Amino acid sequence: MITRFVTRRWDDVREGDSIGSITFPVTLRTLMVDVAGTRDLYPIHHDRDFAKASGARDIFVNTMFYEALFGRLATDWAGPEAFLRRLRFTMKSPNCPGDTITSRGHVLRTYEAGGQRLVDLEIHLDNQLGADATIANLTLELPG
Amino acid sequence: MTDPEAVPFDRLCEPYLHRWGPYRLTRDPISATAIRRFCEVAEDGNPVYWDEAYARTTRFGRLIAPPQSLFAMTFGAWWTPDHVRERLEADTAALNEDGGDGGQAAIFALCDRFGFVVNTVAGQEAEYLAPFGPGDGRLKMRSMVTAVTGEKQVRVGTGVFVTSVTEYRTEASDVPVGRSTLVLLRYRPREGAE
């Protein structure tokens, strides 16, 4: 049986809608896959001595990990016909091996601009140490 | 002769702001393999990145890269043999026949001189202008620094925030596919930081 992919239509989205929640455990393996997939060899993401000498708690996932995760959360919710138009986020506290990320997000607004049907999302990543470790604002273009 | 330490850091950087640097070119064309390795990072199963036949039925009409992979797709290669590097340098030089060298290198050199040698990303914003994917060839990009702050005390030490804008285009069509703004904290770690 072929998996079916559901596309969310702009007409069906309402402000305040939840986009759901996932849990993502960060392990040493997460950091290795992160380096391999994003090509980021900056030692703060794989060298624990370097990270600690730089004032960090431990090695931590890089910026591109968050790009990957926020993009995934958006299209997991919106479906394969959605196109990410804008992504902005602030990293307030790092995620290191042993941490567990929990996501939550909702629709901020729906609007049309430049002939595009758009949805703004706000997504928060918390970890076991506290809320709002990373907060993102995204704009998605959806089919009508 | 003015003591350089006495001039505020942001003032020293001013002459180097708002100057486009040269185009850089990725070594390899966008490939399905690079796309899937990026998708593995956050376990993204979106079929427009994985399933060519399915992707053809969507609005994109083809397999595409996650727009949010733009930054990763343009990261420097880990190792390149001389003969390939020479060809890449020649291709890059051809793109930059009329261009200047921009201001970013001079600003990072100033950071190094002040001991702001560790860098961490403090903020990031990206705009995705068009889908891109296998068949679009390599990506080319150029950057400029748009703002530098004065010296600030931060949790991990003393540093400055450097804001850069980068523009990305496909080699095949010269179409802009994205624009990103990056705020980098360059800092001198606090003594005995742990």
Q: What does the domain layout of chain B look like in residue ranges?
A: 4-189
- Fold type of domain A10-27+62-141: Thiol Ester Dehydrase; Chain A (3.10.129)
- Fold type of domain B4-189: Thiol Ester Dehydrase; Chain A (3.10.129)
Name the nearest CA neighbour of A39 among B108, B117, B75, B86.
B75
Dmax over CA atoms of chain B, in Å, equals 68
| Mean pLDDT of the region A51-61 | 95
What are the residues whose beta carbons fall under 8 Å from the beta carbon of A100, sequence distance 6 or more?
A: A23, A24, A25, A26, A127, A128
Contact A39 B77 (CB under 8 A): yes
Helices H / strands E in chain A, number of each: 3, 5
| Residues linked to residue A86 through DSSP beta bridges, in sequence order | A139, B127
Q: Is B57 on the interface with A (CB under 8 A)?
A: no
Distance CA B123, CA B164 (A): 11
pLDDT at residue A1 tops 60 = no
Residues in chain B within 8 Å Cβ distance of A41: 78
pLDDT, tens digit, for every residue of A98-125? Answer: 999 999 999 999 999 999 999 999 999 9
Name the nearest CA neighbour of B155 among B192, B108, B189, B120.
B189
The pLDDT > 90 percentage for chain B reads 82
pLDDT, tens digit, for every residue of B63-118? Answer: 999 999 999 999 999 999 999 999 999 999 999 987 777 899 999 999 999 999 99
Contact A84 B190 (CB under 8 A): no
Whose tokens are 């068009």? That residue is B130
| Mean pLDDT of the region A116-139 | 97
Residues in chain B within 8 Å Cβ distance of A81: 58-59
B-contacting residues in A 97-136 (Cβ below 8 Å): none
When pLDDT is cut at 50, 70 and 90, the band that residue B192 belongs to is low
Which tokens go with A43?
Answer: 């030692």
Contact A53 B193 (CB under 8 A): yes
Q: Is B183 on the interface with A (CB under 8 A)?
A: no
Q: What pLDDT was estimated at residue B20? A: 93
Coil vs helix vs strand at B124:
strand
pLDDT, tens digit, for every residue of B158-189? Answer: 999 999 999 999 998 898 999 999 999 999 98
Contact B193 A55 (CB under 8 A): yes
pLDDT at residue B1 tops 80 = no
When pLDDT is cut at 50, 70 and 90, the band that residue A6 belongs to is confident
Contact A86 B190 (CB under 8 A): no
pLDDT, tens digit, for every residue of B41-75? Answer: 999 999 999 999 999 999 999 999 999 999 999 99
Give the pairing type, strands A100-113 and A83-91.
unpaired
pLDDT at residue B4 tops 60 = no
pLDDT at residue A49 tops 70 = yes
- ipTM of the complex as predicted: 0.96
Name the nearest CA neighbour of B66 among A22, A82, A13.
A82
Which tokens go with A103?
Answer: 């996501």
Choose the mutation target among B124, B127, B180 for the interface with A, i.e. most A CBs under 10 Å: B124
Whose tokens are 């261009």? That residue is B99
When pLDDT is cut at 50, 70 and 90, the band that residue A56 belongs to is very high
| Mean pLDDT of the region A10-35 | 98
Shortest CA gap B1–chain A (Å):
34
- Secondary-structure percent of chain B, ordered helix, strand, coil, rounded to 5: 30, 30, 40
Q: At what angle do helices A63-78 and B32-42 cross, to 10 degrees?
A: 90
Q: What pLDDT was estimated at residue A45? A: 96
pLDDT, tens digit, for every residue of B118-170? Answer: 988 888 799 999 999 999 999 999 999 999 999 999 988 999 999 999 999 99
Q: Is B61 on the interface with A (CB under 8 A)?
A: no
pLDDT at residue B194 tops 60 = no
Q: What pLDDT was estimated at residue A2? A: 58
